[in-house]
Structure 1
Amino acid sequence: MTIKMEADIVVAGGGPAGLCAAVAAGRSGKKTVLVERYGFVGGMTSAALVYPWMTFHTLEGKQVIAGLAQEIVDRLQERGASPGHMRDTVGFTRTLTPFKLEEFQVLAVDMLEEAGVQVLFHSFVEQAHVEDGQIKSLTLATKSGPIQLEGKAFVDTTGDADVAFLAGVPCLKGREGDGKTQPMTLKFRMRGVDLAKVKAYMLEHPEEFYKRTPVGELPDLELTGVCGFYKHWKDAALPINRDQVLFFAGPGDDEVLVNTTRVQGLDGTDVEQLSAAEAQGRRQALQVAQFMKRHLPGFEKASISQIGAQIGVRESRRIDGVYVLETEDVVSGRRFADVIARSGYPIDVHDPTGQGVKSEWVRGDGAYDIPYRSLVARGVGNLLAAGRCISTSHEALGTTRLTPSCMSTGQAAGTAAALALDTGASLVDLDVARLQSILRDNGAILN
């Protein structure tokens, strides 16, 4: 028997974007339901151990992301679960933000409950029912049997544009030309790491590390991230198609999060290929951990303490929306009249087939705008996207997919959905100036 439920706003996907979308919608007074496939909030942050959050600032240190994203950091700091924004010792960005995952998961649920949001964990979107260009309901697969969840407005924060795809919305996937996506990564944590020894080695051998590493400042900085060990990696000749080791310190004093495995050529929206990626990623994780313990200074007593519940997916489907954010929009620091979020994170595209990472930094004041039109789906009038599946090119996704940006687009989407219901306007014809005013009142930085 199918269970019937209804809401004003349905948010599908409980990652950071979905969290912020649902909280924003709930705080607006709308009956909001958040649908999440796992038994916890956090999406890739929780399931795939995406850590730390990067970045709330430009390379020069100007904060360009705030609002709900900053509230989450502030409340984690109050709980002793984050030191706040710290200097990125990899040098790729100005700052990064460490946090304790378990504390974040509890805080996220607290914020949803405070906003009056109903959360359906262990629920998977199976079908989208569309009539006259509007989603009427979603069918969820659950332990209780199928649920038919009706809504007036929907926000797709699944990361894979699952709702949009099921609703027949035009979608993009991968890079232009061959459709190949950025590689997936299975991340893992290690404890027992002597970070002081790692730092000492970096100071003695700066040539073995990323060219932007702030070596001159390193003696006075707490080590937060490391990219390099080029010689060690090359000599090991592991069957993993990348050219360096990347890991981030914390949150424990002897703990690191390793972001080094690389699974290429598989589609994160194909169940058989995703299954193969999970198996390949776990094999690689053990290989990398063994290599680090045997060959890297500071890892002699280290061991794996946690492996992600699932492989991290950088890129899959995204909507082909009213506006596709392009590479030049990002690197030129383009301003848009319908800006709903900003970001200072550079383009960061892990090569779908090669070893390297393509990087381009934002010119001008170091930040670019994300326009509202990139959240608006075509063909379905009551659907917005937020997070990793907004409308971008393959290259521009290399910056919008990062967690703080996802939080910002999530807040914008949840706020927009509520505003549309308040005013009776369609999402495509929404009063963006009014939306911007509400976002600013709630802490978002739009200029």
Structure 2
Amino acid sequence: MIKEIDADVVVIGGGPAGINAAIAAGRSGARTVLVERYGFVGGMSTAALVYPWMTFHTMDGRQVIKGIAQEIIDRLVKLNASPGHVRDTVGFVRTVTPYHPEVYKVVALDMLCEAGVKLYLHSFADEAEVEDDRVVSVQITGKSGRMRIRGNVFIDTTGDADIAYLSGAPYWQGRDGDLLTQPMTLKFRMKGVDLQRVKAYMLEHPDEFNDKTPIAELPDLPLTGVGGFSKHWQEANLPINRQDVLFFTGPGDDEVLVNSTRVQGLDGTKVEDLTLAEELGRKQVLQYAAFMIESLPGFENASLSQVGAQIGVRETRRIEGFYALRMEDVVQAARFDDCIARSGYPIDIHDPLGRGVTAAWIGGDGAYDIPYRCILSRTIVNLLAAGRCISTTHEALATTRLTPSCMATGQAAGTAAGLAVKRGITPHDIDVKELQALLIEGGAVLEQVREG
């Protein structure tokens, strides 16, 4: 016998987008359920060690993502679990936001509880029941067997557009032509790192680090990240297809999070490929950690302390919405009448097969709009998406996939779902102006920000 559960809003996927979507929907008064496959929330930010969050700001330092995301950061700061927004010493963006993932798990749970959200952990959605052009229910499987959750509005925050796929909604995957996706990365932490020695080496050998590294300002800045050590990396000649070393500092004073493994040519929606990716990624972690200890100044007494519970997946499926955000929209700082979120993160495409990263910078005021049409399924009238699987091209995904952007689209999707329930209509039919007013009331930034 399958247990039946009724809800107004059903959110599948407990990563940052799903957390913010469920909080927003719950705050609207809608009966909200959040389903997450792990025994904790946080998604890639916790299970895959995606750290730090980058970025909430434009390159000139104007904050364009606030709302629920900023509420989370404020709580973390009060708990000494984040320094807040600080300069990015890699230089790729203006700011990064370090945080303690274990504290984030609890803060997010507290906020979900306060919003009245019913949480089902250790549960995996494996079936969607569709009637005409609506999802009627999803089936989840867990330790207690199968349960069916009926709802009025469903939000896909799985990162992989799993609910869109299960419901038969159209989707895209990978880049045009060969359908290849950005590589996966298994992240890991090292402790016992002498960060003062790392910083001193950077100041003595600036030519070995990224061109955008703010070397002139570095003596007065806390070290938050390092991109480079190019000489050491080239001499090591490891069989990992990337150009240099990339790591970020924290949360401990002697800790770093290494974002440098690279698993290419595999499909993150296929269990066989994911299995192989985990195997390859974990072997790369051991190779990379040994290289850092043997070769990098400041790592002489370091040791491997943590590896992600799963490999980090940058790209799989994306829903087909009423509009697909394009690379041109990003670099031209496009404005849309139905804007529901903004972002200042540049295009950041990790090559599906090669060694490099393709970057493109945002013009105009330094931020672009994400329109409501990008989070609406084109064919399923009560299905929204948020996070990594919104409607974009392969190129534009390379900015919308970043966590702060996912948090912003999550709040938008949850607010839209709550509004649809309140009005007794589908998300397709809501008044976008009313949605925008609610988002602004909830702290979201939808207009150009002129202050510094």
Fold match by TM threshold 0.5: yes
Per-residue deviation, 1:157:
0.2
Contact 2:173–2:179 under 8 Å retained in 1: yes
Correspondence 1:150-299 to 2 at 5 A: 150-299=150-299
Q: Which runs of 5+ in 2 are unaligned?
A: 448-452
- Describe the SS at the equivalent of 1:335: coil
Contact 2:128–2:166 under 8 Å retained in 1: yes
Structure 2 Cα separation of the partners of residues 28 and 248 of structure 1: 37
Contact 2:153–2:426 under 8 Å retained in 1: no
Name the amino acid aligned to 2:76: L
Instruction: State TM-score, norm by structure 2.
Output: 0.98
Counterpart residue number, 2:403: 403
Per-residue deviation, 1:162:
0.2
Instruction: State TM-score, norm by structure 1.
Output: 1.00
Alpha-carbon RMSD across the aligned residues, in angstroms, is 0.5
Per-residue deviation, 1:422:
1.1
- Describe the SS at the equivalent of 2:180: coil
Counterpart residue number, 2:82: 82
Structure 2 Cα separation of the partners of residues 148 and 99 of structure 1: 35
- Describe the SS at the equivalent of 2:46: helix
Name the amino acid aligned to 1:212: K
Structure 2 Cα separation of the partners of residues 28 and 424 of structure 1: 13
Per-residue deviation, 1:198:
0.3
Contact 2:161–2:319 under 8 Å retained in 1: yes
- Describe the SS at the equivalent of 2:145: coil
Deviations 1:172-208 (A, max 9, x none): 1011111000000000000000000000000011111
Deviations 1:106-153 (A, max 9, x none): 001000000000100000010000001100000111110010111110
Per-residue deviation, 1:424:
2.4
Counterpart residue number, 2:59: 59
Structure 2 Cα separation of the partners of residues 199 and 239 of structure 1: 27
Per-residue deviation, 1:86:
0.2
1:336 matches 2:336: yes
Contact 2:193–2:298 under 8 Å retained in 1: yes
- Describe the SS at the equivalent of 1:348: strand
Q: Which runs of 5+ in 1 are unaligned?
A: none
Contact 2:69–2:404 under 8 Å retained in 1: yes
Per-residue deviation, 1:45:
0.4
Deviations 1:49-95 (A, max 9, x none): 00000000000000000000000000111111110000000000000
- Describe the SS at the equivalent of 1:64: coil
- Describe the SS at the equivalent of 1:190: strand
Structure 2 Cα separation of the partners of residues 247 and 266 of structure 1: 24
Structure 1 Cα separation of the partners of residues 304 and 372 of structure 2: 42
Contact 2:376–2:427 under 8 Å retained in 1: yes
Name the amino acid aligned to 1:286: L
Structure 2 Cα separation of the partners of residues 126 and 426 of structure 1: 24
- Describe the SS at the equivalent of 2:394: coil
1:22 matches 2:22: yes
Name the amino acid aligned to 1:378: R
Counterpart residue number, 1:428: 428
Counterpart residue number, 1:444: 444
- Describe the SS at the equivalent of 2:137: strand
Per-residue deviation, 1:426:
2.3
Structure 2 Cα separation of the partners of residues 150 and 406 of structure 1: 25
Structure 1 Cα separation of the partners of residues 210 and 296 of structure 2: 16
Per-residue deviation, 1:6:
1.1
Name the amino acid aligned to 2:45: T
Counterpart residue number, 1:111: 111
- Describe the SS at the equivalent of 1:160: coil
- Describe the SS at the equivalent of 1:364: coil
State the identity as a percent. 66
Name the amino acid aligned to 2:309: A
Per-residue deviation, 1:425:
2.8
- Describe the SS at the equivalent of 1:103: helix
Per-residue deviation, 1:231:
1.0
Name the amino acid aligned to 2:260: T
Structure 1 Cα separation of the partners of residues 142 and 4 of structure 2: 13
